[in-house]
Structure formats: structure tokens, C-alpha cells
A = this chain, B = another copy of it.
Amino acid sequence: MPQGALTLPAAYYVDAAFFKREMDGLFGRMWICAGRTEQIERPGQFFVRQVLGESIIITRGPSHRVNAFYNVCRHRGTKLCTDEAGAFAGSIQCPYHAWTYDLDGRLIGAPHMEEVPHFRKEDYPLHDVRSDVWDGHIFLNFANDPQPLSAHLADLPKKFRPWRMEELRLGRRIVYDVKANWKLIVLNFNECLHCPNLHPALNRLHHYLGADNVEPTACYCGGAMGFREGVETMSMDGKRRREYLPGLSESQRQQVAYYSIYPNLLLSLHPDYMMTHTLWPRAHDRTEIICEWHFHPEELARPAFQADDAVEFWDLTNREDWWIAEQSQAGINSRVYTPGPYSEREALLWSFDEIVRRESATDGPPRRREATKGQTTSSS
């Protein structure tokens, strides 16, 4: 971080036109975490995400490939699917005039269109979105020719292999609607200087200067934080009520790994559970946040299993963070706000700002997808 590093100018947070440009630059080009493979274990299962103003269906094809499609019929543009999640019975049918697509997006039925000269079903597949999977996390990419997910993630898969994230299963989900720019959520996650002031419960478990951060990259930043004495995991009382995740080393059992994986996944790997936040920007001043707690299936199967200690603790901490993010959003909106000085301990924030500055500056028209003629390109 250079001397005199300052926070970003107000426009990055309060300007609706900038937000649109930034969304195209960051969410329109980077790999976005959409959810978990367990949500679509069997072909035909699906869930829907809203991103970049678009409704996207994520489903699994007959060959078990993960597919993502724009939720738009090729006939008269009708939204195909209005449920948030569910299972298709072998195909996707438009509720209006029954145009029907197979689970890989091919048009297989179009009533009365056979009478239309030159009409060919193969010209009207669903528009697809590139998708890929890392250790149980499904990612989407809206760019025309993105780098592979594995190249984007670099050393992360190796680093987090011991937690065997793919094996974990959802225990609880809470969705938050926060009146703040999504970057304020990321910045807040990237430092613990605010912990003594804002998080009395958390402050009893971690020392706020105890983070062992790795060198930030273009894809992520983060590090591990050890526990205060007597603490075994993040919960209201610091007690651990589940077995350690299998495969963790002794030192991995003594810490939480907190990583921001840009632009929208906040990953928190605990000794006995995984917490994920995915961020869904809705406007320059509004972000939907899906927070999930994932556990080992053997723990989930126990009659005495409980998640309340972890959920209650982080729900409290989440709400404290969303509240302060909303106060920051409100203050930055003032005509007197000017970029303020970062301390040395806010270097990760500056590294994230730099990525935002670079990616949102890119020119070029908003990416409008060409009509897809070929097939989807995603993998399972």
C-alpha cells in the first residue's frame, strides 16, 4: 500500500450510473459464486439466481452436467420458470405457448411453428451462461471468453483441499437485504479493526489484531485468525458442539480461514463448519446477502445435531456488520465526504479498492449476448 492511501471516491458507492458500469466490469466478467452442487444433485433439479438484472436458471442436464440458462423463452420472451427452486420433469416448458427445451437447452417442441417456412428448432436454444464447479461451489461467468475458473482461483483449491468442501451439506440459510453498496460488505469483511467497537461477542473469541493474512491477489484476499485461549470455534460461548471436520491438521483446528473470493463469495472455514456469504448487488445502495452454514453430513445425521450456536453467533455478528455498512453508505452519500486515510492495518481494503478501480474503468459497450446457436459449455 502506498503512503497516503485513501478510501475510494464517493461515486463508487453512491452513483447509480457508476454502479451499472461496475456491474458490467466486475460481475459481467469475473466468476461469480452462484450456489452449491448439492442444490441440484439430480438431473432436472434447479435453482434460480438474480444477477446483473437477469434471472438465471441453474440446473443439471441428463449427463449430469451443470447448466445455466437465461430464464427467457425464445418465442415471445416469457419468463420460463417462476419458482425459486424445484425440479423440472425432464424438460423446461414455457407456460405461455408450450415451447419446450431439453435440460441442455435445446428447443424440442414449438407448437404450430412447423407451418412457418424456414423455421428450424436448432436456431432457438436457450441462451446459456458459462458455468463451472470448484469443490461443491457453482460459479457462473457472463464474459464472452473468460479465463477458466481454475486459472482464476489459482492456488485456492489446493489451499482449501483439507476442508473437503464438496462433502459438506447445508444446515441453515438466512437471506439479508442490506441498504449498502456491496463493496462496503467486502471491505467490512476484510478487516477486524472494527471488532472491538462493534462486535463484543466476536471480540471475546478472536483478538482483533490476530489475523495472519496472505499476500492479496487479483482473485482473493484473506487469512487465518486464531482463537483466544479456551475457544474452540465461533459460537456464542466459544464451545464446539461438533467433531472437527475430517482431514484438518492440528493448526487448522485452531483457527478460522476468512477469505473474500472476488467479487461475491465470502468464505469462512471453521474447524467444524463452513460459512458462506454470497453477495447479490441489487442497486448502488442495496445488496442481498445469502448466508449459509454447511456441516459435515455425519454431524447432520446425528440425532443431537444442532447448528444454533454457530447460526446465532454469526447472525448477531452479521447484523452488526450490515448495520455499520448501512451507516457508511449513508455517510458517504454526504456532499462533504472525501476519501479518508487508510491505516497500515487496512492494506487489504486498499488492495480490493485497486481491483475495483481497475476493472470498473474498462470501457466497451454493455455486453449483450449474441443469440446462441451452439450448445452450453459448462462442466459438472
Contact = CB atoms under 8 A, between A and B. Distances in A.
B118 A78 contact: no
A331 B71 contact: yes
Nearest to A70: B336
A74 B340 contact: yes
A336 B72 contact: yes
Interface stretch (A94-102, A275-283, A296-304): A94-102
B112 A193 contact: yes
A177 interface: no
Contacts of A54: 334-336
A236 B212 CA distance: 70
Given A97-B197, A336-B369, A328 B79 contact: yes
Contact of A371 (B116, B324, B332, B338): B338
Interface string A35-70: 000000000000000001111000000000000001
Interface stretch (A157-165, A243-251, A252-260, A341-349): A341-349
Interface in A81-139: 82, 95-98, 111-113, 115-119, 124, 127
A119 B341 CA distance: 8
Contacts of A117: 3
A331 B371 contact: no
Contacts of A3: 117-118
A366 B77 CA distance: 31
Nearest to A128: B336
A1 B211 CA distance: 69
Contact of A335 (B53, B119, B343): B53
Contacts of A113: 341, 343
Contact of A341 (B10, B116, B197, B330): B116
A113 B6 CA distance: 13
A117 B367 CA distance: 43
Contacts of A111: 193, 343
Given A77-B334, A77-B340, A112-B344, 18 more contacts: A53-B333, A54-B336, A73-B340, A74-B340, A76-B328, A76-B340, A77-B337, A78-B331, A79-B330, A79-B331, A95-B324, A95-B327, A112-B343, A116-B341, A116-B344, A119-B341, A336-B369, A338-B371
A373 interface: no
Give the top 10 A-B pairs by smallest Cβ distance, nearest first: A77-B332, A79-B331, A112-B343, A127-B336, A79-B327, A77-B331, A72-B331, A79-B330, A77-B337, A78-B328
Nearest to A69: B336
Contacts of A53: 333-335
Interface string A338-380: 1011111100000000000000000000111101000000000
A170 interface: no
Given A112-B343, A343-B115, A344-B115, A331 B97 contact: no
A322 B20 CA distance: 30
A73 B330 CA distance: 11
A41 to B, nearest CB: 28
Given A77-B340, A331-B78, A341-B119, A97 B193 contact: yes
A219 interface: no
Of A80, A124, A327, A366, most buried by chain B (CB within 10 Å of CB) is: A327
A201 interface: no
A197 B98 contact: yes
A117 B73 CA distance: 59
Contacts of A78: 324, 327-328, 331
A75 B340 contact: yes
